[in-house]
Amino acid sequence: MKRSMDSEDCFMKKFKYYKSNKPKPSLEEVISLETYKFAKEVENITFTVRHDSRTRALGLHDISNWKAVSLSRHPGFIIIKNPFTSLGQRYWIRKCLEEYAKKPNKRNIDIDTDVDNWWEECFKNKEVDRKLQKKLRWATLGYHHDWDTKVYIEDNKGVFPAELAELCDVIALSLGYSKFRAEAAIVNYYHMGSTLSAHTDHSEVNLEAPLFSLSFGQSAIFLLGGHEKSIEPSAILLSSGDIAIMSKDARLCYHAVPKILPSSKQPWNDPTSVEKTDENFKYIKEDEIIDSMNRNLKEWTKFQAYVEESRINVNVRQVLNENQKCL
């Protein structure tokens, strides 16, 4: 039997509703883990691993202090509520802007610009090059995602960042995914007014492995539906530091971002969230620690200005099967 047009457009109707600016959408039905309003729709997750000696070195609180929930409507979808310290958020924000947006990683700006170091180029003159800053929408790491064919190939890959792979390993092990390998990532750079249309992530050879999605900066409304667009999606608020995991049944569900919202908090500036420790980040340079701790306020100001009006999303996935070494 043919479905009605109303049924087929269910996801799109929700997307358009939250995307709208006139009138502005109500946020009453947006699931937020910061309130108890939706307590009946979430279930607490118990971590498989409660301690990992690498957490501080990666800008994370101890796993014993993490909070994670699943959504009853969406089996396989998990949210870890901001496990990062304030210093940790600054570290990863800087990585995304300074390092992951550099060549030889692939970026959308490669089509019409010949800029090796995008972030440095934005500050070459006394005035910030806002136009160039807002041009960057995505960068791909490891196996590069092909936006046209949606197919990975062995000849189209770079070196996956060791620190990001280790971060994902800590997260994966905490949830019992002992065989996960981070092999590809897309870093999305959203500005106020940016959106991401409904899609599924089905390019990887291994669709059993979870997908890890990290958010930094401004908040986003995340829509998560089912395997068909006729299924009405849930609207979920993702804030800076939150980690969303799509596994099992949720792995191939339609999802989208219809709206970026101003964040009510700035957890990257929260002094109570910085764990006092003499340990250095494993991958961070001495001068970066000094900058991150605000001893060089001027340096951090550039990154602060960016995340005050933008959202960074890093989504990491495993491409190959467990015993596979190449495509």
Residues within the annotated binding site? 199, 201, 255
Q: What share of the chain is helix, strand, coil (3-state, %, to 5)?
A: 30, 25, 45
The two three-digit tokens of residue 31, written as one number: 């699931």
Integer angstrom CA distances of residue 159 from 57, 164, 214, 226: 21, 11, 20, 33
Closest residue by Cα to residue 86 from 245, 274, 240, 290 = 274
Take residue 119 and report the two structure tokens written for it: 């972030």
* Rounded-to-integer distance, Cα 126 and Cα 103, Å: 24
C-alpha 142/C-alpha 159 separation (Å) is 5
- Distance separating alpha carbons of residues 98 and 135, to the nearest angstrom: 15
CA 277/CA 263 separation, integer angstroms: 28
CA-nearest of 190, 185, 291 to 240 is 190
- Give CA–CA dist 26/256, Å, rounded: 18
Q: State the DSSP code for 252.
A: G
- Binding-site members for Fe cation are 199, 201, 255
What is the residue-wise DSSP string for 14-40?
Answer: HHHHHH--SSPPP-TTSB-TTSSTTGG
CA atoms within 13 A of residue 257's CA, in its CB half-sphere? 23
The answer to whether 56 and 164 are in contact (CB under 8 A) is no
